[in-house]
Structure 1
Amino acid sequence: MLRIEQPVLEGGHVRLEPLTAAHVDGLFEIGQRQEDWAYLPTGAFTSRPDAERWVHQALDLASKQLHYPYVLVSPDTGVLMGSTRYLNVRPRDHVLEIGYTWLGHDYQRTPVNTEAKYLLLRHALEELGAYRVELKTDARNLRSQKAIERLGAQREGVLRRHMVVQDGYVRDSVMYSITDLDWPKIKKGLLGKLE
């Protein structure tokens, strides 16, 4: 049975720390650009209370062991760079999803997201005992699809009319996975990209 633990995960470009209420100000500071949230279920923070609500909702889901949210922190400066999480955990099946990932504008198209995904994948597949890790993205988000494919994930198909996002839009989601059998080759490729 898959049991989720949420330790700090540290790499050279990013440190993943469990989300706490103390992260509200840092997330508000980097989460105000609507373009960075274009394909996510919720929009950018227009006020500090928006950021507080977002953090408290994430922590509520964490308290119910439904989501395991992290913040992405610069190991050099301690500055918050974004957020990600484990979700849709199915312990009996040894399956979980990595998602709700967003980065502040200055940290996009850097090694930060790749390394964050590497750390989460390594933890899930090597330490938690996951057999399968799922990743989904809005079918309109071609940049995210390319990023997931660069990780080495296998595209499995499209979930049609899968979820309602901002402004009531009903999105299709592209489903990807990485399994424990895929991991040795994918791990080697990701380590090569991060060198």
Structure 2
Amino acid sequence: MNKNWIIHPTILTGQTVDLLPLQKEHFEELCLAATDKELWKHTPKDCSDKEIFENVYSASLIEREKGNEYPFVIYHKPTKKIIGSTRFFEIFPEHRKLEIGWTWIVKEYWGTNVNFECKFLLLSFCFEGILRKDKIQDNGTTRNAAYFSILDDEWEDAKTKLITQLYKQPKASR
């Protein structure tokens, strides 16, 4: 695998948020933001516990070094705070494929355009269906995951529609 498919450091810059490469020095601020159990209610793993969070955090840095993931912190420009995380994962350069997800954002920014802008930035950087029962969660249940696909020749039209939608959303100015 070509571990340089996404060159480090990659910074994705938006109007309200920047996606910065996850670094060791982000740990304390991000860990504090992750303590709300409600953030993890619909995810495969509850990372509100500091020890679990630290294990996932460390694994993310290792997986980036291997070229399997590229984790970001979500930096909210107006408040100058880290308010969550998102990533590229399941990176397969030989198939020109990766997935977008593992996104979590502190509750204060739910219902704003923060998540929308994050996804827009990730989609702008790169370019499949429902994965049925693809993950077993900590509580033993299985998870279905919806995936969206954009082919390179569809991107310009999709990008225009996303930009239009982005600026219709209420501003995330909290």
Instruction: Give the 5 Å matches for 1:81-160.
Output: 81-125=83-127, 134=128, 156=129, 158-160=130-132
Following superposition, the deviation at residue 160 of structure 1 comes to 2.5
Among all aligned residue pairs of Structure 1 and Structure 2, give the percentage whose two residues are the same amino acid. 31
In the alignment, the residues of structure 2 paired with residue 9 and residue 174 of structure 1 have an alpha-carbon distance, to the nearest angstrom, of 24
Deviations 1:80-136 (A, max 9, x none): 1110111111212211110111111111111111111111111114xxxxxxxx4xx
In the alignment, the residues of structure 1 paired with residue 118 and residue 44 of structure 2 have an alpha-carbon distance, to the nearest angstrom, of 21
Instruction: Give the secondary structure class of the aligned counterpart of 1:3.
Output: coil
- TM-score w.r.t. length of structure 2: 0.85
Following superposition, the deviation at residue 164 of structure 1 comes to 0.8
Q: Which amino acid aligns with 2:27?
A: V
- TM-score w.r.t. length of structure 1: 0.77
Following superposition, the deviation at residue 50 of structure 1 comes to 3.3
In the alignment, the residues of structure 1 paired with residue 131 and residue 56 of structure 2 have an alpha-carbon distance, to the nearest angstrom, of 25
More strand by percentage: 1
Instruction: Give the secondary structure class of the aligned counterpart of 1:23.
Output: helix
Following superposition, the deviation at residue 25 of structure 1 comes to 1.3
- Matched with 1:183 is 155
User: Do 1:20 and 1:55's aligned partners in 2 also have CA atoms closer than 8 Å?
Assistant: no
CA RMSD of aligned residues (A): 1.9
Instruction: Give the secondary structure class of the aligned counterpart of 1:86.
Output: strand
Following superposition, the deviation at residue 63 of structure 1 comes to 1.4
Moved over 6 A (4+): none
| Structure 2 residue 39 is matched with structure 1 residue 21 | no
Q: Which amino acid aligns with 2:31?
A: F
Q: Which amino acid aligns with 2:83?
A: M
| Structure 2 residue 106 is matched with structure 1 residue 163 | no
- Matched with 2:171 is none
Deviations 1:31-62 (A, max 9, x none): 12222112222103223x33322211111111
